[in-house]
Amino acid sequence: MFAYTLDNEIRLLLLHDSMAERLCDLVNENRAYLSHWLPWVPNSQSPSHYQAYIKHTLTQYANGEAMVCAMEYQGDIVGVCGFNRIDRQLGVTELGYWIGEAYQGNGVVTRACEFLTTYTFTELGLYKVQLSAAVDNKPSRRVAKRLGMELEGVIRRQEKVGEQVLDHAVYGILKEDQR
């Protein structure tokens, strides 16, 4: 199983069935906040949903199509981070993440994404990491900038979340541009 200790506070752990209840609780605790940015939140209310999600992500991992990890901060699972998509033909991964609101501001997402960006280039041998965030999602856009990513463009009307249709800012970094 993929598990990596980033530092004395953060570990990334490949999702496992045993995490379903914690993920469900975390989303339920953060439902109002997460519902601003993520379309799946309203339909994700039971541990069985997360068990199915974890099973799906593990199948994707086994097929080399994605890699989704729990972010553990000071011994507690605080969110999810990973590659929503791995395209070996193009040499591109797409980062995705969410974190409980109370855990923001500790650098957890930035440190996890820094690790995964380096992992893309050194371990997966790919050439580009992308990140897409709602234009108004300022915390996620700041993560992209801290990673040294360039704004590649804005895709209008990209995603429906609740009653809102969101535009997305798309960021990317190439292997040769990584600091």
Structural domain includes residue 74: yes
Q: CATH code at 97? A: 3.40.630.30
| E strand map for 74-127 | 76-87, 92-99
Its pTM surpasses 0.75: yes
Q: Count of domains in the chain?
A: 1
Residue 32 lies inside a defined structural domain of this protein = yes
Q: What is the pLDDT of residues 83-118, one digit of tens each?
A: 999 999 999 999 999 999 999 999 999 999 999 999
> Which residues span the domain enclosing 97?
3-127
Q: Are 46 and 107 in contact (CB under 8 A)?
A: no
Distance CA 19, CA 22 (A): 5
- Does 174 fall in a domain? no
Residue 50: exposure state from Cβ atoms within 10 A (0-12, 13-18, ≥19): buried
Distance CA 22, CA 112 (A): 19
